[in-house]
Amino acid sequence: MPHFVEQAKTYSECVNKIRAKYGQDFKVLLERSVQKRGLFGVGSHEEIELTGTYGFAPQPQTERPSVSAPVDLETLKSQVIAAANKAVPSNTGDPSMQAVLKEIASLSGAVRSLNEKVDGSISGSAAKKSARNENNNHPSMQKLEDDLFNNEFSASFVKTILERARREFPLNELDDYEEVQKQVVQWIGEKISIYEEPEQPVQAKKKPRVVVLLGPPGVGKTTTLVKLATLYGELEGEQEGHLDWRKQVRLITLDRYRIGAEYQLEKYGEWMNIPVSVVDDYDGLKKVLALYKQEVDFILIDTIGRSPRNYAELGEMKAMLDACPAKTEYHLCVQASTKVGDLRDIIKQYEPFKYKSVIITKLDETDKAGNVISVLAEENKSVSFITTGQTVPSDIEPATVIRLLINLEGFAVDRHSLVDHFKDKAV
């Protein structure tokens, strides 16, 4: 089957180019952004590149896409599991962990191939079908597509929203673009899932909540952990120069890969009057956790790593963290400005840790959150916190749907109607 590779400034421009050159029967297989250099390096800019095939007979609409498990995810998971088992021999035969990981792998595999099908978008038959819809060519549809891509939403996310718009907006409603936008903002909000913090059960003996922060280096884990410690600690006041906390919080850092600058957490601990423990291995972590078991409210664990692609290191870390109690809450930190493709990779690389939620860091550094919203929706992940600056402890807030929506660039956002629509998800 013949292939094409086309580049343009926007996704829709690129699709129009493909349509003009190769006709309606084409299928986009790969989307990536490429950096175009201007003359003498001046005016360099990003473009969308679409690769795909064309000139095939349209598939009947009823035909279902076949879902085959992608190989790379399986390989990746087994690398992490193998490394984890190697690091702690006593864990090698934990069949329940293996079963859970296997299940996660197959589920995310299925979700991923479905996403890839959707991302393959604009197949010949879909293009024909949309051509039949007269509202397809309405200028509002074009504008909506551009606005969504400008906010860095993924191709599959944009496609889903456009299809819904085609289905639900009659021609006369499309004339009022502001109304269209308001409605679309709600649809986007419906795709955002907010993490629900577990209730602290009232019990005679204290049982600490254990929270672990994961993520690639430099995303802001340590800074976020300190911000969380102050949120959870509930400041009582200051006495003789020491901060006083209503709740007992302890910080733990995994020492394995520390380099000079990483003594950061200990310095923060000293400043905040919150004890910090440094542990080296599974047994060390187990001991510290046992020590704190009945006397504290929160234990926050910082992790350190060189790269999420270093599977042996991820495996070792996983083996060490297996010392944590079953109810430990793992949060994955991702930087708001990360590109869609990289986000998908990171989300999958940390899957073996069974993290419950994602913390979006450095939202202050970008105006666009479509990338994060799309990938989290695709991968069924919820957001717990958003961090918005380097200042400790103030630059953190619990994630809300509205907080992410008001960041959308070029969209008319009606705050009141959103608060009304999302109620508790919004506060």
Interface with ligand GDP (CB under 6 A): 215, 217-223, 361-362, 364-365, 387-390, 395
Nearest approach in angstroms of CB 275 to ligand GDP is 19
Size of the site for Mg ion (CB under 5 A): 2
- Residue 300: closest CA among 245, 363, 233: 233
Query: Are 401 and 425 spatial neighbours (Cβ–Cβ below 8 Å)?
Result: yes
Closer to ligand GDP by Cβ: residue 113 or 264: 264
279 forms bridges with which residues in the sheet? Answer: 254
Nearest approach in angstroms of CB 63 to ligand GDP is 46
Q: Give the whole-angstrom CA distance, residue 83 versus residue 89.
A: 10
Closer to ligand GDP by Cβ: residue 88 or 279: 279
* Tokens linked to 228: 């969380």
Write the CB contacts of 231 (distance below 8 Å, at least 6 apart in sequence): 393, 396
Q: Give the whole-angstrom CA distance, residue 339 versus residue 357.
A: 19
Closer to Mg ion by Cβ: residue 50 or 333: 333
Out of ligand GDP, Mg ion, none, which partner does residue 223 contact, by CB within 5 to 8 A per kind?
A: ligand GDP
Q: Which strand (E) or helix (H) includes residue 52?
A: strand 45-54
Nearest approach in angstroms of CB 249 to Mg ion is 18
249 forms bridges with which residues in the sheet? Answer: 298
- Residue 84: closest CA among 313, 324, 347: 313
Nearest approach in angstroms of CB 126 to Mg ion is 45
Closer to ligand GDP by Cβ: residue 208 or 220: 220
**DSSP calls for 103-161:** HHHHHHHHHHHHHHHHHT-S-HHHHHHHHH-GGGG-HHHHHHHHHHHHTT--HHHHHHH
Closer to ligand GDP by Cβ: residue 124 or 220: 220
CA count, 13 A, side-chain hemisphere, 261: 5
Nearest approach in angstroms of CB 297 to Mg ion is 23
Give the footprint of Mg ion on residues 217-246 (CB under 5 A).
221-222
How many other CB atoms are there within 10 angstroms of residue 129's CB atom? 15
Nearest approach in angstroms of CB 248 to ligand GDP is 23
Write the CB contacts of 366 (distance below 8 Å, at least 6 apart in sequence): 336, 337
Report helix, strand or coil for 29.
Answer: strand
Nearest approach in angstroms of CB 82 to ligand GDP is 26
Out of ligand GDP, Mg ion, none, which partner does residue 371 contact, by CB within 5 to 8 A per kind?
A: none
Write the CB contacts of 203 (distance below 8 Å, at least 6 apart in sequence): none
Out of Mg ion, ligand GDP, none, which partner does residue 217 contact, by CB within 5 to 8 A per kind?
A: ligand GDP
Closer to ligand GDP by Cβ: residue 141 or 254: 254
Nearest approach in angstroms of CB 345 to ligand GDP is 17
| Residue 338 binds Mg ion, judged by CB under 5 A | no
Residue of minimal Cβ distance to ligand GDP:
220
Out of ligand GDP, Mg ion, none, which partner does residue 390 contact, by CB within 5 to 8 A per kind?
A: ligand GDP
Out of ligand GDP, Mg ion, none, which partner does residue 151 contact, by CB within 5 to 8 A per kind?
A: none
Closer to Mg ion by Cβ: residue 43 or 260: 260
**What residues make contact with Mg ion under the rule CB under 5 A?**
221-222
